[in-house]
Chains A and B, each alone.
Chain A
């Protein structure tokens, strides 16, 4: 069950797959946003894949990936590190597959098949200029609220969603809080002081 799914998808949709990996034994494919609806329909209908659960849908903002002040140790000592503190050489490495500057956002879909008991992660990189993607509400009902949350927290629009409004924040809130450029403590109170 190692790379069957990714090879199957490569064979069926060669133009839409950008990259694929199996980091820590979790199959992942990076696809183009135009192919999302077609590929996910195949994931659901094809009996060899049979993904009946859309388990999770979230988004990642790559604006500060690897650039935080804590990414590099602030203290370098001249003496060597003890052996157990050397960075571990891992056999597996992970790469995103596309550049962070070009594609700032990435939608992450987690699928699960209850009959075949396998999982797949589908990632769709998006540019900040054109932050829309097709909605999967026609295929899985769970997409409804997940997509509303991604809209609320990140500002990704879903074309075809019946009711795309904020779900966790209130409508008067401006901005999308989970983006990396939204300050953590910036409050927009409805009543009371902005402490």
Chain B
């Protein structure tokens, strides 16, 4: 008696829901995958869980009120977002920041970029299993955050940029402390490099996973380290230079395979290049324009206040007051050194506001409702190189004191749109390193 022919087993694809609250500490994303065993057959990515209405909120306040909201876009590199927005509004107004301010912006942007890459590589290493690397990199990030706190007053959400300048000048000990901190960060990067780059487990998990071809990446509009991992040397800092990037010497690292491992290597090398830019900028930092009146008289601020309290106000109108433009009051630099001279956009120094009538009027005209920074009707799209790629700000003005439309072109939006491309065909375990190298930042993705 012949055995009946065995029916082939009937299989069905399994649906696995990952998220929205899941431990790959990148935020809240839902990936609904359809699995055939361990292979991913299809994915459906659901975003928008952190939509906080940035674009609607930015229509409510005057131009400078948008800056705290921009901090919280890409919250691991907030300085780049601040300066990207300020650049768009300044170009819309047709003004340019002073040279010293541009150098400061470049230094702070690059420090922010190093923080972002440290967080990205650290978190993705932790998710793959290398917890020590995460601890080392966060330790390095703390040193950089201490520097940012020295200059801007806060570690993370700094609101440092202003339309026309920055909030405060660099304090005295910034340059030596930064040099020391960058040395320490380089040591940490060397350690992490030794732990990861030729580590058999790490390489096996990252190499040939999450592969995307160059043409597909361009068609998806992907920019930044993701695209550079595919072999396209596109960097907004080189292609459309802004601030003083055209004076900086740095390389743009590219990969070749378009997989997770190449992106990891690109990010590690970019950190080194960013530190190189910071060091060049610090050694070239111009002292800034010194503004004294035609008699050459400069009065320190505290003297002026004391004199005014006693009623000795004669002659104040013709005297230039020396202000302390840094947060801790170190007496160097002048307010004008870090803010554009465009009086229609930049607030006067506090001593002028309280000291003479021109300053008071100037302050009034910029702060009161109905007055303020008023670019004429127009629009401008400015692109800066964010940590994830091209961060674009499209600002439209209708002649009033608040922006009519602020649109952020988020770099990781396009990368997340390509996530199905990256994941289909790989195994479930490859979702974690791929998603880690996407560096999705919820604030930027969902705004």
Contacts and interface: CB of A to CB of B under 8 A. Distances in A.
Direct contact of A and B (CB under 8 A): yes
Interface of A: 23-24, 26, 28, 52-56, 58, 60-61, 64-66, 68-75, 81-82, 84-85, 87-88, 90, 92-95, 108, 110, 114, 117, 119, 121, 140-142, 144-146, 153, 166-170, 177-178, 184
B203 interface: no
Interface stretch (B133-141, B262-270, B304-312, B357-365): B357-365
A185 to B, nearest CB: 10
Contacts of A121: 381
B399 A66 contact: yes
Given A65-B404, A140-B219, A145 B94 contact: no
Nearest to B393: A56
B130 interface: no
A160 to B, nearest CB: 17
A166 B407 contact: no
**6 pairs of A and B residues whose beta carbons are closest in the complex:** A142-B221, A74-B370, A168-B48, A94-B378, A84-B343, A56-B409
Given A70-B370, A167-B48, A85 B362 contact: yes
B94 A108 contact: no
A75 B370 contact: yes
B247 interface: no
B417 interface: yes
A63 to B, nearest CB: 11
25 contacts: A23-B378, A24-B94, A26-B381, A52-B218, A52-B219, A53-B223, A56-B394, A56-B407, A66-B377, A68-B398, A70-B400, A70-B402, A71-B399, A75-B368, A75-B371, A82-B362, A85-B361, A90-B94, A95-B377, A114-B234, A119-B381, A140-B220, A141-B216, A144-B417, A177-B56
A43 B170 CA distance: 46
Contacts of A23: 378-380
A24 B365 contact: no
Contacts of B358: 82
Interface string B225-241: 00000001010000110
A69 B398 CA distance: 12
Contact of B418 (A28, A65, A87, A141): A141
A59 to B, nearest CB: 9
Contacts of B91: 24
A65 B397 CA distance: 9
A61 B404 CA distance: 9
A121 B394 CA distance: 11
